[in-house]
Amino acid sequence: MTRKVTNQRRRTVLKTMAGGSIALLAGCSGTSDSGGDGTDSNTDSDATDQTDGSTESGGSTESGESLEMTYVYPGYFSNDAQSLVPMFEEQASGITVESQQTPSDASSTREYYVNQFVSGSSSFDVGNMDVIWPAEFAQNGWAAEVSDPEGHTENMLQTPIDSVTVDGTMYGMPIHTDANALYYRTDLLEEHGYDSPPTTYMELVNMAQDIMDQSDKDLNGYIWQGGSNEGLTIMWLNWFWGMGGELRQDGNLVVNSQEGIDALAHAVDLIHEYGVTPESIPASSTDQNRQTFQQGNTIFMRNWPYAVALMNEDGSPVKGKFDVAPMPKAEGNPDAKNSCLGGWNLFINANSENKEAAQRFASYMSSMEAQEKMALEHSRLPVRQELYSDEYYEQASQLETFAKIVDQTSARPATPQYSTFSEIVYTNCNAALVQEKTPEEALNDAQEEIDSEVNNA
């Protein structure tokens, strides 16, 4: 399978740097299909918690020598990286960062990392790590221990810290959390007599059908992650949790419960029975969905916080015409926590020969300066508690809504075999979406594989 790794190189040592540019160099091919995908606009932030030429995480190296480090990030984080890397370099005198971009989707990024790990490669020093990978990376000795010399974690939300802590040791530094939400067109709802978004699955279906029938435009009712990748596992979990499903039963992961089958059946019906979801969804990616919604012909979309900044850029057809709301739930389950907790961390390659520079970079990315930049300009959900306050809600209105959504999240199962579990789930769910299997057949097949490769591994 061909992989795309696009290089961005910054070769100028900062003490002589008057300006900088990041040039995109190489590339093959890749797909974009992960939660939290996307790119953002880049502008400067006024906020800082640094003083005088020394920094919380940068400054001169202990030896006084210049250091070079290589940072690998998924495509969804490209605009964040393009603005944050120069900010770090300006603070960290003597450290030069070479950046490499992997495909946007989490699955391909993980595969790239694993290929590097198994070969014992030290070709990169620090990388973005999905919230579901720390246990696997730690168990296999792929991620080095990360320290917190500036005490950033003292001001963090606890869940992101827990996600990178394995047996009492931190193997990553949280940089942003995530929670998926329902995006909806405020203008279309208002135009057709609705003053609030749907709160249940069938309210969404009925509302979408009504607006589609009334409109003289060719509208999509509801688009969501249906491609054969991690995003579909998350989407199934959204419906499953919203129906009151419990994934762990007697210590085992169980997907073919009645709630599991009903959740997948609802997904299939959205496409083939209710007609509110396009038949192309089983081949779609998260950011393809964002682009479709942004074109202005879609009523509802499930997506992540990053989409807010992109869709509110100047020239966007939906700028000022959408809002976000908590994920709808099944009737009778108003308190279900069915938004999936996501997020990304920075980890240090255990084979890195530049762990000092990598540690400084990881620390900087959790600083107040970097967190403000990500939250206010790239619509990332920050991991620092200080940013969840009225001061910042006034600057980023959706941040307050997402803060409430975070309280309605559930976490994917913590297991070193999670990637195996997820691949089994999304492969079989996708087969049901294209009607190669019934929902019950798909999840019975998935359960058999999970029992063999995860529960009894």
Q: List all residues 6 or more positions away from 409 whose beta carbon is below 8 Å from its beta carbon.
A: 179, 337, 339, 340, 341
Q: What is the pLDDT of residues 373-406, one digit of tens each?
A: 999 999 999 999 999 999 999 999 889 999 999 9
Q: What is the pLDDT of residue 64?
A: 58
Q: Which of 223, 222, 234, 180 is nearest to 429 (CA)?
A: 234
Q: Which of 213, 201, 225, 200 is nearest to 342 (CA)?
A: 225
Q: What is the pLDDT of residue 63?
A: 52
Distances (CA, A) of 408 to 30, 243, 294: 33, 14, 26
Beta bridge partners of 72: 100, 127
Distances (CA, A) of 31 to 79, 102, 109, 132, 213: 17, 10, 10, 20, 34
- Our CA angle for 106, 111, 116, nearest 5°, is 130
Q: What is the pLDDT of residue 222?
A: 98
Residue 440 contacts residue 260 (beta carbons within 8 Å)? no
Name the helix (H) or strand (E) containing 207: helix 201-214
Distance CA 80, CA 69 (A): 18
Residue 152 contacts residue 268 (beta carbons within 8 Å)? no
Name the helix (H) or strand (E) containing 340: strand 339-348
Query: What is residue 273's three-state secondary structure?
Result: coil
Is beta strand 95-102 parallel, antiparallel or unpaired with respect to 6-9? antiparallel
Distance CA 35, CA 231 (A): 6
For residue 444, give the amino acid letter. N
Distance CA 3, CA 288 (A): 19
Name the helix (H) or strand (E) containing 261: helix 258-272
Q: What is the pLDDT of residue 66?
A: 80
- Please, what sign has the CA dihedral across residues 94, 98, 99, 102? negative
Q: How many residues are there in the chain? A: 457
Write the DSSP symbol of residue 153. G
Q: What is the pLDDT of residue 107?
A: 81
Name the helix (H) or strand (E) containing 309: helix 306-311
Half-sphere CA count of 307, side-chain side, radius 13 A: 29
Task: Give average pLDDT by consecutive 10-residue segment, the chain, 457 residues.
Answer: 35 26 24 34 29 35 72 93 96 93 84 96 97 94 96 94 94 96 98 97 98 96 96 97 96 97 98 98 94 98 94 96 97 96 96 96 97 95 96 92 92 90 98 98 98 94
Q: What is the pLDDT of residue 415?
A: 87
Half-sphere CA count of 267, side-chain side, radius 13 A: 36
Structure tokens at 319: 């700028």
Q: Which of 106, 122, 26, 50 is nearest to 74 (CA)?
A: 106
Is beta strand 169-170 parallel, antiparallel or unpaired with respect to 126-130? unpaired
Structure tokens at 373: 């930049």
Name the helix (H) or strand (E) containing 357: helix 355-365
Q: What is the pLDDT of residues 128-179, one digit of tens each?
A: 999 999 999 999 999 999 999 999 999 999 989 999 999 999 999 999 999 9
Name the helix (H) or strand (E) containing 370: helix 368-377
> Burial letters for 63-87: b for 16+ Cβ neighbours within 10 Å, e otherwise?
eeeebebbbbbbbbbbbbbbbbbbb
